[in-house]
Amino acid sequence: MTKTVGASIDTGTFTKKKSQWVEVWGRFKKNKGAMIGLFVLIILIGIALTEGLWIPEEKVSTIVVADRLQHPSRAHWFGTDEMGRDIFWRTLYATRFSLTIGFVAVVVSAVIGIPIGAVAGYVGGKVESIVMRLTDIFSAIPTILMAIAIVSLLGRTTFNLMLAVGISSVPLFIRVTRASVLTVKNEEYIEAVKALGKSDLYIVFRHVLPNCLSPIIVQVTLRIASAIISSSSLSFLGLGIKPPTPEWGALLTAGKEYIMGYSYMCLYPGLAIMITVLAFNLVGDGLRDSLDPKLKH
């Protein structure tokens, strides 16, 4: 452990305070599974960000009827679909859509869920009871059913899909945030800040929420994974992204009709989903362990 070196009072500058994230990273690094997950994620995100630059548009969308339904070969690594499009390129290209859906959906649920959970936990009393009972009712509806309702209500667009998936996991964020706010708000340092005459709003944002971050961050990574699955399921049910836009769930849907003779059409997008979800889960688990304050001491 490096010791912090204080600087002289005359200069008015001090050694930069070291971030706690450095320590978290130190512990995270030791977790092999999490590191593999992180490596996979970086590659996936890299693909998603840069795919427009190096994946030729025509490889993804050009229809060559002559090449339809080919088994994997040297020319078409993952084979081709019913319209003769190369599945390898389409699966690769779908990374951007699927990841975006995952991220945006989680941002939606976090942005709605965290403040509600924080208020419910901090204020307590009747507000808490009402919020939590509503949350219970809300989460009694199956995720997919909820998403189907939202998508059919608002229309079948990519954004609505993300919204639907996001909204359906809001209860989770409310619960996680409330639970950790409840433990943090009874800590004595919160009382100490109250004794300094600070307002509740300041206390929640400056002291309570930062100490609730660990479980929330873990939840975020895990929810991205399940948002990808949910959106894939919706696409599979025909409520998600409209073909021919490549998205893993949509690719699966397209493949399901040919599953008997040409199962590779489902296999590769399915594998892509599996690998991504696994990577997020590995990273999520790794974060849970490395953010655990009990290991800090």
Partner 1 sequence: MEQPILDVRNLRKYFKTPRGLLHAVDDISFTIDHGKTLGIVGESGCGKSTTGRCILRLIEPTTGEIWFDGENVAQMKTRQLRAKRLDMQIIFQDPFSSLNPRNTVMQTIAEGVRVQKIHSTETEIQKRVLELMDIVGLAERLYNSYPHELDGGRRQRIGIARALAVNPKLIVCDEPVSALDVSIQAQILNLLKDLQEEMGLTYVFITHNLGVVNHISDEVLVMYLGQNVEQAHTEEIFRNPKHPYTQSLFSAIPVAKVGANKERIIIKGEVSSPINPPAGCRFAPRCQHRMPICTQQDPVSTEVTSGHFVACHLYS
Whether cis (ω within 30° of 0) applies to the bond prior to 244 is yes
Contact between 293 and partner 1 per CB under 8 A: yes
Q: Considering beta carbons, is residue 8 or 56 the nearer one to partner 1? A: 8
**Shortest separation between residue 20's beta carbon and partner 1, angstroms:** 7
Cβ proximity of 211 and 184 under 8 Å: yes
Q: Count the site residues for partner 1 by CB under 8 A.
A: 31
Q: Considering beta carbons, is residue 4 or 263 the nearer one to partner 1? A: 4
Interface region with partner 1, contact rule CB under 8 A, candidates 55-63, 167-175, 183-191, 250-258 = 183-191
Contact with partner 1 (CB under 8 A) among 29, 30, 133, 296: 296
Contact with partner 1 (CB under 8 A) among 3, 125, 153, 201: 3
Which tokens sit at 279?
A: 């990577």
Q: Pick from 79, 108, 113, 12: which is nearest to 261 by CA?
A: 79
30 alpha carbon, distance to own chain's centre: 23
Contact with partner 1 (CB under 8 A) among 22, 125, 153, 297: 297
**Shortest separation between residue 185's beta carbon and partner 1, angstroms:** 12
Which tokens sit at 52?
A: 């427009």
162, containing H or E segment: helix 158-168
Backbone angles phi, psi at 140, to 5 degrees: -75, -20
Q: For partner 1, what does the binding mask look like between residues 13 and 42, x meaning CB under 8 A?
A: -xxxxx-x----------------------
135 alpha carbon, distance to own chain's centre: 21
**Shortest separation between residue 170's beta carbon and partner 1, angstroms:** 26
**Shortest separation between residue 278's beta carbon and partner 1, angstroms:** 31
d(CA 44, CA 196): 47
Q: Considering beta carbons, is residue 58 or 191 the nearer one to partner 1? A: 191
Sequence letter at residue 176: V
Eight-class DSSP state of 72: S
Backbone angles phi, psi at 75, to 5 degrees: -75, -40
Q: At what angle do helices 213-236 and 87-123 cross, to 10 degrees?
A: 130
Q: For partner 1, what does the binding mask look like between residues 187 and 226, x meaning CB under 8 A?
A: xxx-xxxxxxxxx-------x--xx---------------
**Shortest separation between residue 117's beta carbon and partner 1, angstroms:** 19
Q: Considering beta carbons, is residue 133 or 206 the nearer one to partner 1? A: 206
Whether cis (ω within 30° of 0) applies to the bond prior to 215 is no
d(CA 80, CA 64): 10
Interface region with partner 1, contact rule CB under 8 A, candidates 8-16, 106-114, 158-166, 240-248 = 8-16
Sequence letter at residue 159: F
Residues that bind partner 1 (CB under 8 A): 1, 3-6, 9, 12, 14-18, 20, 187-189, 191-199, 207, 210-211, 293, 296-297
